[in-house]
Each structure stands twice: as structure tokens, then as C-alpha cells.
A and B are shown apart, each in its own frame.
Chain A
Amino acid sequence: MSSWETVIGLEVHVQLATKTKIFSGASTTFGAEPNTQACAIDLAMPGTLPVLNKQAVHYAVMFGLAIDAEIAKESAFERKNYFYPDLPKGYQTTQLEKPIVGRGNVEIQLADGRTKNVRIHHAHLEEDAGKSLHEGDFRHGVSGIDLNRAGTPLIEIVSEPDMSNAEEAIAFAKKLHSIVTSIGICDGEMSQGSMRFDVNVSVRLTGAAELGTRTETKNLNSFKFMEECIAKEVERQIDLIEDGGTVLQETRLYNGETKVARSMRSKEEANDYRYFPCPDLLPVILTDETIEELRRNLPELPDARQARFVAQYGLSDYDAGILANDSAMAAYFEVATAKSGSAKLVANWTIGELAARLNSEDISIVKSPVTAEQLAGLITRIVDNSISGKMAKEVFEGIWDGEGNADEIIEMRDLKQVSDSSALEQMVAEVLASNQAMVDDYINTDEAKRKKKLGGFMGQIMKASKGQANPQQVNQILAKKLNELL
């Protein structure tokens, strides 16, 4: 068996979170009725003309600044010509020769603690196409066109082939997701197509100088699908070569539902796009002042935020990394921390209980049923010993189910922890009195084994208090009272 190495490069389409489209005033809101958000320009009606959305340009520049890339003072749009029903003009307005963002760098962290630099070749502005709705989505035997998405602004980020396995590719993809959502240029909603990944994969014998023939799998919109697709494609290519075949340069599709990959078109079938400068649009000129202003106002980047979380809140690097790389989670964490004053508990709950619930129900943190304020309320009650950790989970469930905030649920369900020492002392005394056999057993046991026996009393007391007794306090009182009996 020979040893193989994998080479991966990504092309990432990021929908920019502008209110209107890149060349028209139509809204970009996701999920509207088909063709209700397409104006005459988006429909490519005769005589209509594009006007560039300044916000889209600024967002692209912000991305460039975030990855420390060269920003082109002059960039230009070109027409990429091909016929497809969801491409209303018969060309896509995009950038080729003069992209707005030049070379840059993205640093990724790997599970073993290593970091790696992925070079960005360039990023350019372009318009999204519409959507073709075929059978299954639409009436039998008829295809429909929905042009709501046509003209949505995109940046296409093209990486160098710097990744050598799926882990690195996913880490890179997640890092880009983290950057674009942190600087607020994309909503990051992968399931709505806000970020889509084209994965270029090739394999070669370890140490070979030349790159192998690559395939491009288009339009993956989840990290999980990306991982599966890369694994399958690497295996396919290696099997093919080891069986004496050759990898064909082709464009492929991967169906995340059926887990089946297939060829879409070969290199020979590829279009000649006949790019040429778009005569309807002037070159995009950026002044130093504009670039500097955008740089000054650039929101905090994930890496800087991670460092700050460590320094400011005393979090571990690992926890800080998880929170900082998801800007919505980071914002949630900071709000809950500000309200509760307990960064570490908030971090634990956010990364633990909350993230697990959100994940299992596939809800994004911005739509979390437990708001940051509500989590802070819960944590405040843990800190002031009003409730135990076990109770806290029950309260969390209550908040999740919409029963109210922590205090309301504690009140309603009578979950308040009993920390009143006289009440606890009485409770302990009652349990000891009614369990004389256990007390005798405790007294007659070797000192070394007595500690173990304490658990039995604890269980009885907690049962008697319906779990509301403060366990630390009970422990102390119990030990004291039993020692008195010795």
C-alpha cells in the first residue's frame, strides 16, 4: 500500500447581510413567497440597469481587513456569460481580473492544539443567481423559477490549496463563518444558504511534487456534509488510482440527505464564460479615507475576542475559543455575564447545557428559548445558594419550556433550597431520631469507614426535604450531630 496525501482548497460563497440587493433596491429577506422580492432589475427586464450597493462594497472591504488582505483601490465588474433559467440576464455580474480583496491569511486552530495558516488567493464581489424549483418542489412535470435570491450580494472567497485533510478544511470553514458573523457582514445561516462551500480535492503520493487532478464538489451548506463529502471523495480518488484509473477533472455534486456524490459535468462540458468588463458599471474606486474608516470601525475579530475572554473573564483558552468563535454565542455569554457577574458559570452553562439543547433541537442561539437575561437570572440563584445545581437543571428546563424566568419557576415549583440552619438542624435531628439503627451502625463502625455511611443519612435527608436542603450545610450539621453522639 502506498501512502497518499490529500490537497484541499475551498471556494466559499458568503451572502452579505445587506438590506437590499447588490444592484437593485429589492429586499434580500429570506423565505418570502417566490418572486415577491424581485424587481424589474432582478428580472432583467429590457432597459434596466444595475446600480452598485455601497454597503456590499463596504462589507467586502471589511472582510478583506479582517483577514489582513490587500484591498484593491480600484476593482471592476465583469460579465460571466452562460444561459440558465435562474440567471435572468444570461450573465452573472462578478469580478475576475480586478477583485476587491487580494491576498490574505486565515489562521486555523486544530484539535491537537496546532495552528495552521491558510492563504486566501482573493475574494470578489458578485451577484447570486435565482433558484430553479423542479419536480418535488413544484408542480408535477413543471419547473419553476424563483428569482427572490437573484441579485443577492455575495463575496466569493477563494483559498489556496493549503488544507491537507477534512479536519483542516472544516476548521477553515468554521473560522470563516466565525469571521464573517463576528464582523456582521453575514448572518451565517448555513441552512438558508448564507454560506456555501465548493470543495476542491485532489490526492497524490506522499512527497510527490505535482498536484493530482482535482475535482470540485459544489454548494455544500453544512460542515457535516463537507466532512462526509471530503472523506468519500478522497477514498474514491485513491481507489480509482490504485485500481489503475485516472481522476477526471470534473464538477461534482454531493447530496447530504442520500449521502450520494455524482458527477455534474466534466471539464470538456464546462462553459466558455466569455468574461468581459461590464459596461453598465463604473470601476469601484476606494479612497484611503474610506478604507481607514472601515478599519477603525471593524468589529472585534474572533481571535482578539478569544484573548480578551481569557484575560478579562479568566476563562480557559479552550472555553474562550468556543465562545469567541461564534459571535452570537459570544454576545450571549457577555450579556449573561454582565447580568450575573459569574463568567465561569455562564461559560459552563452556555457551552454545556444550553449548547447541547440548542444543538439537539437545531435552534440557533439568537433564537434560544432561554435568553441571556434568563440564564443570568438562573445563575444568580445558583451563586446565592437559592438553588442547588440539580435544581438548577430543572429550572433551566422550565425556562426552556416557557414557564417563566428562574425566580418565577423556583417560586411556582417551590424549589428554593433550604439553607436556614435551624430548619436544617431540625430536619437532621428528625432523620437521626427516626433511623436509630443506622445511627447505631454508624457509631459501631471503624472511624475509617464512617465517612461512607454518611451518604445514607444524606439520602434520607434530601428525600425528606424533597431535594431542597442545601447539601453542604446538611453535611456539616450531620457530621457535627453524629460526632456529638460518639
Chain B
Amino acid sequence: MHNLTIAELVKGLQSKEFSSTELTQHFLDRILSLNPAYNAVITITAENALKAAAVADKRLAAGNAPALCGVPILHKDIFCTRDVRTSCGSKMLDNFIPPYNATVVENFERDGVVVLGKTNMDEFAMGSSNETSFYGAVINPWAADCVPGGSSGGSAAAIAARLAPGATATDTGGSIRQPAALCGITGLKPTYGRVSRWGMIAFASSLDQGGPMARTAEDCALLLHSMAGFDEKDSTCIDHEVPDYSATLGNSISGLRIGVPKEYFSEGLDVGTEQAVRVALAALEAQGAELIEISLPNTGLSVPAYYVIAPAEASANLSRFDGVKYGYRCEDPKDLQDLYSRTRAEGFGEEVQRRILIGTYCLSAGYYDAYYGKAQQVRQLIKQDFTSAFKEIDVIMGPTCPSPAFKFGSKGDDPVAMYLEDIYTIATNLAGLPGMSVPCGMVDDKPVGLQIIGNYFDEALMLNIAHQYQQTTDWHNAVPKGIL
């Protein structure tokens, strides 16, 4: 059952080939036996899952159950789950049990989706390798000595290892797409405002966006349909109709104009990765799409702008973790100052502290204009790059990241090298555009991702393109060695 896609599981459940309880038990068993090798899942909610599965089975028996009813998934541990620990990968929230659900969690619950547990992640979603998690690194199922990417590395690895057919994830600068690429699965970061951020622990509020991860575009379409939609609890959520993403997957992509930005194929891009992406583009061309070289001239500014804006917002977003109300508190504080400084020094990991300090610095009196003010201007330029590009083309494509999965510790001493992992993904967050990663090849037995960037609210088109690509290619069906 674990090799079936969500679309196939839906069929099996609706036709009573197997029950949600059987399916849930199967994945729980897999998680219990296999997860220790990957460390992808940090909380297993077996009891809740089996209860939810039993309810789903009743709904399925009664008929008229929503499509996803009874399908088990995992939630990234950034989404608040009522009465279930939500740690955000941090010691700071190791003891935090929210009394509320994130809207995304609520939406899946409404549709009868079963939650198997919570996935590992970089602490507060700050990282591209999953090495910053308080719960230890996640192992890439394709190569035990390599990172799965981050920050949604737990979700990506769990899907690659067939511990769940799908999972939620979040993307602030590439945290859905980069791990999806490194783990050989499909992931979609929707348009900013498409999915509610309520109950999703904030890293950089103007960039954060939740989205689905699964093995196929078809599965992502099903998951996104359930998660997306207007939520009055999130003022930045946009009231825009949620289309039936599955309905348009079969559309022909003949005549599609694909923009290929030359800046995404410049120095720093691994040769094998470039080759795989070029082959994928050729395959789409063969289906009738047109490749048009474009320029996004301010691409090079996206990483520096991002590493001002994201830490600035994070420095304020993470101020609430002060040891006063919930979460970690240092032992025997001498006074208020001591409570604050030791709680935060002991509760946050190194990367989180680094970004809080960067953000605090960028917003300080005398530096604001030079850093935060300038970065906001750059952000406008990057948005304009995309706006003018989308006048000529329908989607933009290129590599998701510069190279396949890298070895543990290989970028640990050099934050800037790590930050460059997101060079192709960050610009879409700054612009608020949707982006997607689809498996498109292998380099050294490790997966490579093709990135699809769409115009605002063009998720249906992106899923359609990815699905058409997956109809003629097999990369999304590849199974890591040792996984049966």
C-alpha cells in the first residue's frame, strides 16, 4: 500500500479495497520500524490516527465522503496541532502543546484526513539541510551520508521513504522546493495568501507559505485543494476561489510558453543538474511547449535581500519566546534580564540566534535605511522582473537548487554557502509567486529537481504542467535503494 500514490489510495478507500484503519496501521508500522533510520518523524500520533481512521471508515461507509477521507499524512511540526506537541524543531518549544489547530490542520481534519504524526524540520524553519533541528538531522533516504534539504526535510524524507504518501510543508525561501528536489519528490509552494498561515509558527511572515508535498503532481493537487482557501483569521490570506486542481491536470500543454531565465543557468550550477533540467525542458518542448530565454536581471540580489528581510521579521517573530508564558525557561533565573538572556541562549540553536542577531542589527537605528529599507526596494525590483517576464511567457522553469543533496557538515561552517542553496528559490518568496519542484533526473544516484514558477494563483496550470511531464517521465516513481 505504501507504494501507491494518494490518488490510488483514494480509489482504494472509496472502493473499499482497504480501510483507512488498515492503511493507517500499515503506515504507523512502517514509521515505527523504519523511521529510526531517517529521523524524519519526531512525534507519532498513533492513537489519534487510529481513532481518526475509524471515523473516516464510517464516513466512507456512509458514502459522500470527501476525496481525501481516510488518507493518512504527516504534518510538518511547524503547524500547530491541538493537544499534540508542536516543537518547530526547537528546544524552545519541546514542551509546547497548543490548545488549537492550524487552519491547514483543521482543513485536513474537515476532509477526514488522518494524521500519523509530525515531521522533523530545521529549527524554526531556518536552514536548508535539516541539520539545525533540536531533534537531530534527518537522513536523506537516497544517500545516508547526505542531507535531505530543509527546512521541510522531515516531510520530504518521510515521503521518499514511503512513511507517508503525503505531508504538509512550509516554504519561506525554498523550504518546500529544495528538500522536495533533494529527496526526489514533488512539492508546491503556493502563491502567498493562498493557504492560511493561522497556526503555522511564523519565521518570516511576509514570506512564509504552507504547501503540500507528495510523490506526484496529481497528489499535490488533491492536497492543495484541501489546504487552500480564505481564512478570516489570517489578514494576509487572499479571498480567491480555490479551483478543482485535479480537473485540469489532463489539459494539453501544447503552445505553453516556458520562460527559461539565463540567470538560473549561470556559474555555480552543477553540470549534471543543468543537464537533467535541460533534458526535462526538451521533454516539455516535445509535448508542444515553447522555450523562450528570458532575463530576471535582479536574481543575484535576491539572496542578500532575503537575508535582511527574513531575519528582520524573524527577530520580531521570535521575541515571544522569552520564558515567561510557555516553552523553555532557564533554571533559576537571577532576575528578568537573566531569565531572558539565558532562556533564549539555551533554548535557541546557533543558526536561529545568528538570524535573530542579523535581523536585530538590520533594524537598528542608523542601519535600517541601509539594510531593511534597501532590501525592500530590491524586493520591488525582483517583483518587477517577474511581472515583466510574465507578459511574454506563461511559466518560468529552471533548476530548483544548484546541486543534488550534499554531505552532512559540508556547509555547516559556512553560512553563506548554505544560504546560496536557495539562490533559485528565494526570488519567488520575495515576489509572493507560486513555485514547484518536480523530480527530473538523477546525478550520482541522487535526485534532481525541476522548478516551475507560475504567475499569481496559477497553481492549477503548474500542477497541470507537472502532471503532463510526469505522464511521460518516470523520475517521480524512482524508489531509494533499500526501500521496499
Contact = CB atoms under 8 A, between A and B. Distances in A.
Contact of A51 (B88, B235, B324): B235
B80 A280 contact: no
Interface string A259-275: 00000000000001011
Nearest to B80: A47
A282 interface: yes
Interface string B305-336: 00000001101101111101110000000001
A281 B80 contact: no
- With a 10 A CB-CB cut-off, give which of A83, A91, A281 has the most chain B CB atoms: A83
Contacts of A91: 316, 319
Q: Tell me the interface secondary structure of chain A in the complex.
A: loop
A279 B204 CA distance: 8
A345 interface: no
Contacts of A145: 324-325
B368 interface: yes
Contacts of B233: 49, 51
Interface residues of A, number: 28
A40 B100 CA distance: 9
Contacts of A89: 316, 319-320
B129 to A, nearest CB: 23
Contact of A81 (B88, B98, B201, B319): B319
B363 A276 contact: yes
Contact of B316 (A40, A51, A79, A88): A79
B372 interface: yes
B326 A274 contact: no
B234 A49 contact: yes
Interface in B173-207: 197-202, 204-206
A85 B329 CA distance: 13
Nearest to B360: A274
Given A49-B233, A51-B235, A276-B368, A83 B98 contact: no
A109 interface: no
B365 interface: yes
A272 B315 CA distance: 14
B328 to A, nearest CB: 12
A46 B319 contact: no
Q: Tell me the interface secondary structure of chain B in the complex.
A: loop
B102 interface: yes
Interface in A112-141: none
Contacts of A338: none
B372 A276 contact: yes
A475 B278 CA distance: 118
Given A85-B324, A276-B368, A279-B313, A47 B202 contact: yes
Given A83-B340, A276-B363, A46 B98 contact: yes
Interface in A375-392: none
Interface in B71-115: 79-80, 86, 88, 93, 96, 98-100, 102
A45 B316 contact: no
A40 B96 CA distance: 13
Contacts of A81: 315-316, 319, 363
A280 B201 contact: no
Interface of B: 79-80, 86, 88, 93, 96, 98-100, 102, 197-202, 204-206, 232-236, 312-313, 315-316, 318-322, 324-326, 336, 340, 360, 363-365, 368, 372
Given A47-B86, A47-B102, A276-B372, 19 more contacts: A40-B99, A44-B320, A45-B99, A46-B86, A46-B320, A46-B321, A47-B79, A47-B198, A47-B201, A48-B100, A49-B197, A49-B234, A50-B235, A79-B316, A83-B322, A83-B340, A85-B336, A276-B316, A279-B236
15 contacts: A40-B98, A45-B325, A46-B201, A47-B80, A47-B202, A48-B100, A79-B316, A81-B363, A88-B325, A90-B318, A90-B319, A275-B363, A276-B363, A281-B236, A282-B236
